[in-house]
């Protein structure tokens, strides 16, 4: 088989045969041509006459298998939730301490075996039946886990789950990279424990720099053909590794992620996959540059012949993925000036697609991750660090679309304006050197479903009510169908960012497409999904506003179907008869 840049699909059409066909190594010998001139061909996948017959199996001999003393069938077995008996006052204190340190239930985690069983393999039958030839063998991998002040039980459970689910020949090593943790259990006790496991090494970053520099350190030391990154609070489900490696073998310029299932941060329950429910989600981003999940759109979903087929995804969560080490180096590793946490997942997503790679979710690979609602990490230079990382993404990769982000995040706009995001010349050179496509190519070809805000809206900013001196604000995390609120003007964009569009809507569109929706008083004016969302529909009349200019800064906001104007009354936004003399009907954009 030959993989060529012109038809990356041609190989994948035969993929079931490649990975499941019995037969001699000779019949299956194949070579992967370098997809880029600068990138050396991978030769190690050609057949080795002495290599063993048969298929990879999780039961394959594990020379490094070490059984921890804890019972895999103890509390939490089969991925079940941990339900404590009556808790003593001391236990309640312990639980609270664990929560405040980690923002997950360390108390529960500490009482579950570090190699708890996840029970039988509940993946889709097409995944369970899939077989992977041992010859020619799959590439081997280094698993790199970076951590900062991770709890002992979650970190060890991550390590043991890798050891117990990965066929030994495919697991070259596990590299733990400590991002300058301060907790004692992560110092010599960790080193001693890991030394006993032989194939696990601990690297230390002397200074706290964040997850990107830590992963780069791990990658530099890694000896495997493939790099596999995991967060420090994961559990691998059976059969997770082979589908990732096999997909890379077929598409060596892919970056592949498992399906990431939830380990509940309170009960530690592992959400096992359901055999008859196909994969539903892929990654996306919003115009605040946050990562999010969405349903796989129909055209992509229908292209999949069965559950073993990968899903193209516009972005990835960033924490759990595999990539050929030489492709990682070719495609520009990471932006090494990104600090602490945030932004690198979107950066890598844009870069991989724009510079000739692809981002795939492999549904037969399942890994659990403890999702938590808040970050427990300290930010030595403040939360601005995240915005600075995002500005680096926007400046390097987003062309004119960076302004769509800056309009929504005033902090980002000021970092960009004052040029305090550091030197990006090396990243711009990389973009040049790899002859990457531009951002509109990415939007058009990789994420055609993306909502594109107007590049140059007529009016935008926060909408201040002159009479009450407050600003329109979408309020909560889930503002849909809720009353718009009036809040102290903060001038940061965010929840107070509105744009007046060429279709006369007043939009807040960072993640969802939300529109200001007129109502009949006394019902307060609401936030609704915009009726016009591309295609042929038109805005609902309640979502069409005409501006009756009073000054260059703005106006009365009239909804023509009601012939009424947006008014602040009793701290609420309501529709009333228009009266240009009423200051509570005057609005300014700023
Ligand atoms: O300063 C730090 N140093 C670190 O080493 C901060 C964090 N870390 C480590 C940390 O111990 C953990 O192993 O970095 C890893 C990620 O940090 P988390 O787990 O506290 O945050 P998270 O799960 O929200 O991280 C998600 O977003 C990050 C943005 O920078 C990274 O992309 C993470 O890889 C990503 N995690 C995932 O993709 C797992 C799936 C969750 C989702 C969505
Ligand atoms: Mn995490």
What is the interface pTM, i.e. ipTM, of the complex? 0.99
Nearest partner of 337 among 470, 209, 462, judged by Cα: 209
- Taking the C-alpha atoms of residue 392 and residue 383, their distance in angstroms, rounded to an integer, is 15
Q: What's the mean pLDDT in 315-344? A: 98
Tokens of 530: 């915009």
Whole-angstrom distance between the N-terminal and C-terminal Cα of the chain? 60
**What pLDDT does 227 receive?**
98
Is 98 touching ligand 1 by the criterion CB < 6 Å?
no
Is 499 touching ligand 1 by the criterion CB < 6 Å?
no
> Using 50, 70 and 90 to split pLDDT, how confident is the model at 4?
very low
- Nearest-atom number in ligand 1 for the CA of 231 is 13
Q: What's the mean pLDDT in 52-77? A: 75
What distance lies between CA 517 and its chain's CA centroid?
32
- Taking the C-alpha atoms of residue 172 and residue 140, their distance in angstroms, rounded to an integer, is 6
Tell the CATH topology of 384-445.
Helicase, Ruva Protein; domain 3 (1.10.8)
Beta strands in 273-430 (DSSP E): 281-285, 291-295, 311-312, 321-324, 358-370
**What pLDDT does 59 receive?**
65
Specify the domain boundaries for CATH 3.90.550.10 within the chain: 50-68+97-370
Is 146 touching ligand 1 by the criterion CB < 6 Å?
yes
58: pLDDT strictly greater than 80:
no
Could you report the per-residue pLDDT of 253-311, keeping only the tens digit for each?
A: 999 999 999 999 999 999 999 999 999 999 999 999 999 999 999 999 999 989 999 99
Distance 320 CA to ligand 1 centre (A): 9
Is 178 touching ligand 1 by the criterion CB < 6 Å?
no
Asked if 175 and 66 touch (Cβ cutoff 8 Å), the reply is no
Residue nearest to atom 37 of ligand 1 (CA): 319
Is 317 touching ligand 1 by the criterion CB < 6 Å?
yes
Could you report the per-residue pLDDT of 108-166, keeping only the tens digit for each?
A: 999 999 999 999 999 999 999 998 888 777 999 999 999 999 999 999 999 999 998 99
Distance 38 CA to ligand 2 centre (A): 34
Task: Report the predicted TM-score, pTM, of the whole model to 2 decimal places.
Answer: 0.87
Burial of 448 (0-12, 13-18, 19+ CB in 10 A): exposed
- Nearest-atom number in ligand 1 for the CA of 229 is 34
> Using 50, 70 and 90 to split pLDDT, how confident is the model at 453?
confident
Task: Return mean pLDDT, the chain.
Answer: 89
Distance 176 CA to ligand 1 centre (A): 14
Could you report the per-residue pLDDT of 523-541, keeping only the tens digit for each?
A: 999 999 998 876 667 889 9
361: pLDDT strictly greater than 50:
yes
- Taking the C-alpha atoms of residue 31 and residue 26, their distance in angstroms, rounded to an integer, is 12
Q: Which of 319, 320, 381, 385 to mutate to test the pocket of ligand 1 (most atoms within 8 A of CB)?
A: 319
Tell the CATH topology of 459-589.
Trefoil (Acidic Fibroblast Growth Factor, subunit A) (2.80.10)
Residue 224 DSSP class: S
| CB proximity list for 22: less than 8 A, separation 6 or greater | none
Residue 545 DSSP class: E
Q: What's the half-sphere exposure (Cβ side, CA atoms, 13 Å) at 183?
A: 16
Q: CATH homologous superfamily of domain 50-68+97-370?
A: Spore Coat Polysaccharide Biosynthesis Protein SpsA; Chain A (3.90.550.10)
Q: Which of 146, 228, 231, 378 to mutate to test the pocket of ligand 1 (most atoms within 8 A of CB)?
A: 231
The total number of residues written for the chain in this structure: 590
Ligand in nearest proximity to the CA of 214: 1
Is 378 touching ligand 1 by the criterion CB < 6 Å?
no
Distance 340 CA to ligand 2 centre (A): 13
Helices H / strands E in the chain, number of each: 17, 24
Specify the domain boundaries for CATH 1.10.8.460 within the chain: 384-445
Specify the domain boundaries for CATH 2.80.10.50 within the chain: 459-589
Is 213 touching ligand 1 by the criterion CB < 6 Å?
no
């Amino acid at each position: 088989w030959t993989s060529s840049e012109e038809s990356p699909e041609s190989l994948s059409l035969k993929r079931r045969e490649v990975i499941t066909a019995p037969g001699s190594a000779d019949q299956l010998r194949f070579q992967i041509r370098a997809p880029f001139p600068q990138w050396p061909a991978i030769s190690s996948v050609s057949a080795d006459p002495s290599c063993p017959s048969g298929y990879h199996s999780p039961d394959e001999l594990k020379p490094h298998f070490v059984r921890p003393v804890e019972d895999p069938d103890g509390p939490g077995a089969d991925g079940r939730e941990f339900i404590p008996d009556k808790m003593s006052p001391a236990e309640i204190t312990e639980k609270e301490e664990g929560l405040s340190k980690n923002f997950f239930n360390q108390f529960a985690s500490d009482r579950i075996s570090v190699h708890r069983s996840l029970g039988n393999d509940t993946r889709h039958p097409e995944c369970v039946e899939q077989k992977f030839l041992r010859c020619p063998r799959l590439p081997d991998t280094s698993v790199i886990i970076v951590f900062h002040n991770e709890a002992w039980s979650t970190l060890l459970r991550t390590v043991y789950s890798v050891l117990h689910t990965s066929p030994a020949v495919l697991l070259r090593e596990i590299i733990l990279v400590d991002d300058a943790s301060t907790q004692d259990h992560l110092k010599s006790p960790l080193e001693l424990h890991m030394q006993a496991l032989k194939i696990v090494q601990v690297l230390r970053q002397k200074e706290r720099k964040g997850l990107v520099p830590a992963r780069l350190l791990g990658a530099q030391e890694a000896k495997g053909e493939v790099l596999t990154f995991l967060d420090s609070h994961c559990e691998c489900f059976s059969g997770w590794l082979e589908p990732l490696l096999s997909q890379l073998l077929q598409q060596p310029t892919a970056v592949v992620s498992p399906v990431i299932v939830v380990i509940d941060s309170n009960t530690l329950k592992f959400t096992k996959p359901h055999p008859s429910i196909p994969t539903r989600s892929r990654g996306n981003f919003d115009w605040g540059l946050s990562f999010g999940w969405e349903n796989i759109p129909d055209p992509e979903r229908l292209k999949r012949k069965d559950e073993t087929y990968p899903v193209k995804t516009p972005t990835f969560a960033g924490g759990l993925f595999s990539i050929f080490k030489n492709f990682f180096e070719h495609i520009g590793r990471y932006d090494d000036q990104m600090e602490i946490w945030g932004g690198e997942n979107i950066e890598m997503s844009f870069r991989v697609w724009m510079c000739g790679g692809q981002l795939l979710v492999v549904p037969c690979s399942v890994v659990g991750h403890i999702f938590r609602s808040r970050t427990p990490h300290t930010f030595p230079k403040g939360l601005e660090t995240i915005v600075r990382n995002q500005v680096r993404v926007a400046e390097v990769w987003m062309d004119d679309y960076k302004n769509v982000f800056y309009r929504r995040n005033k902090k980002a706009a000021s970092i960009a304006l004052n040029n305090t995001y550091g030197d990006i010349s090396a990243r711009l050179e990389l973009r040049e050197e790899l002859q990457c496509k531009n951002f509109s190519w990415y939007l058009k070809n990789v994420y055609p479903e993306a909502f594109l805000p107007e590049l140059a809206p007529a009016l935008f900013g926060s909408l201040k009510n002159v009479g009450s001196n407050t600003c329109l604000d979408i309020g909560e995390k889930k503002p849909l169908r809720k009353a718009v609120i009036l809040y102290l003007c903060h001038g940061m964009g965010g929840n107070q960012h509105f744009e007046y569009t060429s279709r006369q809507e007043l939009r807040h569109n960072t993640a969802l497409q939300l529109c200001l929706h007129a109502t009949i008083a006394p019902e307060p004016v609401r936030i609704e999904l915009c009726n016009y969302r591309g295609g042929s529909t038109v805005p609902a009349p309640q979502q069409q506003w005409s501006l009756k200019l009073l000054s260059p800064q703005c106006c009365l906001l009239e909804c023509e179907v009601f012939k009424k104007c947006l008014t602040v009354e009793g701290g609420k936004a309501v529709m009333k008869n228009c009266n240009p003399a009423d200051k509570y009907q005057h609005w300014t954009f700023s």
